[in-house]
């Protein structure tokens, strides 16, 4: 089901700048991704992107930043055929005005993980409805944040690079040990977009190996069929990696007891 009026689509094509999706602004180069398959959004459908409409009074929590849209907050889903797990969907308030977009889950109690809010899409439309671009942007931001905290440093090259919701990538945890990135996947959408995540991590200076470790129990709770997981690990994963960690020695003389 298309949410872009024909007249508006024609005007957007003519101007060559922006198209509108409700109040969500998108660049014309992403108009194609709304209706056709692409390498960036593997599950886009020619009929358009489905819209998940929230119940009245259930919107503010998600506008305030909670990324987990629970099924009880959803009033209806607009779009045929209905979205499948991992599909990009628009999340809208009770009046069908978009508040952002996310990734749908047809089985989990959390039916959408919000990836970007509407005002963020307006400010940075390059990521709108584009999971690959969003991953690149969020992981790059995580790298810069760690650099501002002097990670890695001369003292240590072991640190957490991506901390799930803390870095706006719900379900993704990445720990770095030397030149190895260990990925803990605890959301169904990550298994779908594993190739895109690994591609982003390989582009980071200093990371030469990736160890993907699915959190099986959590994935089951997220409705993911763990029997479909392939037992694959990087064939180039070294048996050992040099990890630095300098622990300062703190002496507390006030706790020192001397007996005669």
Residue 240 resides in a domain: no
Domain shared by 47 and 69, yes or no: yes
Domain shared by 94 and 53, yes or no: yes
Domain shared by 35 and 95, yes or no: yes
DSSP code string of 146-182: HHHTT-S-SSB-EEEEEEGGGGT-TTEEEEEETTEEE
Q: What is the pTM of this model?
A: 0.73
Phi, psi of 20 (to 5 degrees): -115, 140
CATH number, domain with residue 210: 3.30.750.80
Domain shared by 150 and 190, yes or no: yes
The pair of three-digit structure tokens given for residue 35, joined into one six-digit string: 């209706």
CA 169 to CA 184: how far, in whole Å?
12
Full residue range of the structural domain in which residue 216 is found: 132-228
- Number of folded domains that form the chain: 2
The pair of three-digit structure tokens given for residue 143, joined into one six-digit string: 């790298």
Along the 260 residues of the chain, how does pLDDT read in single tens digits?
Answer: 433 334 444 444 333 333 334 334 443 333 334 433 333 333 333 357 999 999 999 999 999 999 999 999 999 999 988 999 999 999 999 999 999 999 999 999 999 999 999 999 999 899 999 999 999 999 999 999 999 999 999 999 999 999 999 999 999 999 999 999 999 999 999 999 999 999 999 999 999 999 999 988 888 888 888 887 765 545 456 666 677 766 565 554 444 444 44
């Amino acid at each position: 089901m298309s949410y872009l009026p024909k007249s508006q689509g024609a005007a957007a094509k003519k101007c060559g700048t922006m198209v509108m999706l409700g109040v969500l602004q998108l660049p014309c180069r992403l108009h194609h991704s709304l209706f056709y398959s692409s390498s960036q959004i593997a599950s886009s459908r020619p009929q358009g992107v489905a819209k998940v409409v929230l119940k009245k009074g259930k919107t503010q929590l998600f506008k305030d930043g909670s990324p987990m849209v629970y099924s009880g907050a959803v009033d209806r889903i607009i779009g045929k055929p209905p979205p499948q797990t991992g599909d990009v969907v628009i999340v809208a308030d009770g009046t069908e005005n978009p508040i952002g977009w996310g990734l749908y889950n047809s089985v989990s109690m959390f039916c959408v993980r919000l990836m970007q809010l509407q005002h963020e899409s307006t400010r940075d439309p390059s990521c709108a409805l584009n999971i690959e671009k969003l991953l690149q942007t969020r992981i790059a931001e995580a790298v810069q944040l760690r650099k501002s905290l002097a990670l890695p440093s001369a003292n240590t090259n072991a640190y957490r690079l991506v901390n799930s919701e803390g870095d706006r990538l719900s379900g993704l945890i990445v720990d770095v040990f030397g030149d190895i990135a260990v990925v803990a996947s605890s959301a169904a959408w990550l298994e779908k977009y594993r190739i895109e995540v690994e591609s982003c991590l390989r582009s980071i200076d200093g990371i030469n190996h990736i160890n993907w470790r699915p959190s099986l129990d959590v994935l089951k709770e997220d409705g993911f069929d763990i029997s479909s997981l392939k037992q694959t690990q990087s064939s180039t994963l070294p048996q050992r990696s040099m990890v630095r960690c300098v622990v300062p020695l703190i002496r507390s003389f006030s706790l020192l007891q001397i007996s005669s």
